[in-house]
Amino acid sequence: MKKNNIVLVGGGSTWTPGILKAMTTHLDAFALNRIVLYDVDEKRQEVIGEFAKILFKEEAPEVELIYTTDKEVAYKDVDFVFCQMRTGGFAMREKDEKIPLSLGVIGQETCGPGGFAYGLRSIRDMEEMVKDVRRLSPDAWILNYTNPAAIVALALDKLFPEENRILNICDQPVNLLRSFASLIDEDVNNLESVYFGLNHFGWFTEIYDETGKDRAPEIKEIVLNGGFRPVDAEQRDQSWLETYAMVEDMLVDFPEYLPNTYLQYYLYPEYKLSKLDPEWTRTDEVHIGREQKVFQECRRIVENGTAKDSKVVHNDAHGDMMVEVAASIANNLRKTFVVMVRNNGIVANLPADSMVEVAASLGKNGPAPYAVGNIGTFYKGLIENQYAFERLTVEAYMEGSYTKALQALTLNRTVVDAKKARKVLDALIEANKEYWPELK
């Protein structure tokens, strides 16, 4: 088995330890030669990088591990790029959430105006990254977790239309599948799902077990009678528990399919707005929760010189999925994952150039998506509206168009009102002057 060279972009992220732990766990399926952690934030990178050295010294000493802030070092001669950058860091995420809320509109990291703002920031750095990688590692696979993945995926598809080694992925479908599996006492690895939609905007239609039986009806019945919690509830902040609980509400109103949790912001925008605090958002929760916990643990591990006693650093769906996707491509395993691909008729009655999120087998030639066919009017209407928002957002970036930016926000179901959209857009322009192109 070939030993792969990996660069992890966003190496100072709190998600990096979980990805690194997954790498050590999956060495039998995804062999490693060298790992480079790369981040533009030197202080964050150093903390995670020093932890990583200890982890690999103890669990995989044969793997070379370095960390750097030099992209010329990071992208040189790599086989896979694992990308999870956050342009603007948590300071800008806080503005993404709090500015819309201050103006009476939902403020959320990847949905609505917050996702719009984050997307316009992410496109520039993602475009630069792809160009740098292609200069230094022409044949590398780029596996992208960077949010908002729907906007980023569409932008990269427009900017690099001939690219066939960029794959945009999201761990929320597999997070949900793990939680569904726990409800019916099944191993998630024995379940195969049928899924359609856009990123953070989709539905499970069937979930098959090893016998070929569709377990989705049973799962829906359990949720409707007993609610829904993530399988790793003890590790989740309160806002995530509330997010998962809303699956029951969505099933009561729309019982045909099992929904992605993020749909709640689009289906119940007024209700969700009433539950959000403009002074205390998810960013604040992350700061005092995951952010502190992970960095404190990494510092403790470095101080003690061992990671063997850590109960904080462990495999999770985020890390496992990234490594398993890479392994399936590298070793031509053709395992099935839910990923983002250009539609081209997969969902027959959606635009061909939309970036749909569907099940696909993954091998050396990339994703081979499974056809969905026609979808119902309700889902088609919702998705076409959301896709129009995503496309106008990307076009606003590429054309520097204020009008298209305003059109995008006006279309979004979390906003709808054009006067609100203009106020939010103008406030976000002011906050993002260092990151966005000029919109005229």
Joined tokens for residue 243: 């997010």
Among residues 147, 170, 166, 144, which one has the least CA distance to residue 157? 166
Rg (C-alpha) for the chain, rounded Å, is 21
Tell whether residue 178 is among the known ligand binding residues.
no
**Alpha carbon distance 227, 246 (integer Å):** 9
Catalytic residue, from 39, 157, 171, 320: name it.
171
**Alpha carbon distance 77, 140 (integer Å):** 8
**Alpha carbon distance 93, 126 (integer Å):** 17
Tell whether residue 200 is among the known ligand binding residues.
yes
**Alpha carbon distance 429, 435 (integer Å):** 9
351 Cβ contact partners less than 8 Å away, ≥ 6 residues apart: 343, 384, 387
Residue 262 among the catalytic residues: yes
Q: What are phi and psi of 180, to 5 degrees?
A: -60, -40
Are 168 and 355 within 8 A, CB to CB? yes
Paired sense of beta strands 64-68 and 32-38, if any: parallel
Tell whether residue 215 is among the known ligand binding residues.
no
Tell whether residue 135 is among the known ligand binding residues.
no
Residue 171 among the catalytic residues: yes
15 Cβ contact partners less than 8 Å away, ≥ 6 residues apart: 84, 145, 318, 319
Catalytic residue, from 67, 262, 266, 397: name it.
262
Tell whether residue 147 is among the known ligand binding residues.
yes
Among residues 159, 227, 86, 109, which one has the least CA distance to residue 394? 159
**Alpha carbon distance 272, 258 (integer Å):** 19
H or E segment and range at residue 6: strand 4-9
Which residues participate in the annotated binding site for substrate? 93, 147, 282
Which residues participate in the annotated binding site? 93, 147, 170, 200, 282
Which residues participate in the annotated binding site for Mn(2+)? 170, 200
Active-site residue numbers?
Answer: 171, 262
